[in-house]
Amino acid sequence: MNIVILDGYALNPGDLSYDCLRQFGTLTIYDRTTPDELIARAIDADAVLTNKVVFGEREMAQLPRLRYIGVQATGYNIIDVEAAHRHGITVTNIPAYSTDSVAQTVMAHLLNITQRIGHYAEENRAGRWSVNPDFCYWDTPLMELRGKQMGIVGLGRTGMAVARLAQAFGMHVAAYTSKSQDALPEGVAKLSLDELFATSDVVSLHCPLTPDTRQLVNAERLALMKPTAILINTSRGPVVDEQALADALNGGVLYAAGIDVLCEEPPRSDSPLLHARNCFVTPHIAWATLEARTRLLRICEDNLRAYLEGRPQNVVS
């Protein structure tokens, strides 16, 4: 069996090993693959592993040998799954490997915005505290989380993990979810989407990207938010209208945003959120802890083994 990893650097920049996959056949690893390189690199592959390399009808039609695509991520919108089904290609993904890491990133963004630890550490490194006339100083709002409302859009595994962390900080938790109120954990209130945006001090997005959720956060919904509110997005970039969010931040419609995902990755240098007021953008790293990537690789191995044994798991095609 010929196995080709098309963008192996994303998962493994050098601190993991793909050797666990060599048991299944001949393994070829490319750090990165451009669209123009894809066909030549995958032409003899029985199985390919991809994180962000796109497979549509055009690509699959040129790869008659291909029978398996393993997406090394939870989201699989890079694959035309209907085309894969027509071509007899099994597509799998990696669910629930980064739940705790993503929830941790949500709280990291929230704590950064409310306490600005990095800002003060850099100011002091530059000598500001040493020449300060008082025993302390602050030049940003400092906020206590206890008693604030955390609004969560999408109460799956990660949303639930964020809810637990928020409650540990003494926050009230509300959710926009398809679950009934009776099915929600104690202390989590079900709200309509507009009510959640209007009443929450923090809104954290944990919904998949679908036609219904694309630009779910738009100018009209941002206008509902408190001017002191914080928006956090660790789900998918296109869930947010980026220009509308930049305008809202620059115009004081809401206080701050913590963003780990953008519509275009890597972004253009003029991407509006990179320069917006009180917008803190991290480079899509919520999933990337060593522990989460280790789990991802283990599930990737399990998925490939299950497929070869005729009992495929985590199938999305």
Provide the 10 A C-beta neighbour count for residue 271: 18
Helices 290-308 and 99-115: angle between axes, nearest 10 degrees: 160
Q: Which of 41, 67, 157, 284 is catalytic?
A: 284
Torsional class of 240: left (φ above 0), alpha (ψ -120 to 50), beta (otherwise): beta
Q: Where are the alpha helices (DSSP H) in the chain?
A: 35-42, 57-61, 81-86, 99-115, 117-125, 157-168, 193-199, 219-222, 242-250, 290-308
Does residue 86 carry a catalytic annotation?
A: no
Provide the 10 A C-beta neighbour count for residue 128: 13
Q: Which two tokens stand for residue 235?
A: 């789900």
Of 279, 214, 292, nearest to 250 by C-alpha is 279
Buried residues in 161-174 as b, exposed as e (16+ CB within 10 A): bbbebbbebebbbb
Q: Which of 109, 116, 236, 295 is catalytic?
A: 236
Does residue 195 carry a catalytic annotation?
A: no
C-alpha count within 13 angstroms, C-beta hemisphere, residue 24? 24
Does residue 87 carry a catalytic annotation?
A: no
Q: Which of 122, 265, 275, 298 is catalytic?
A: 265
Which positions are annotated as active-site residues? 236, 265, 284
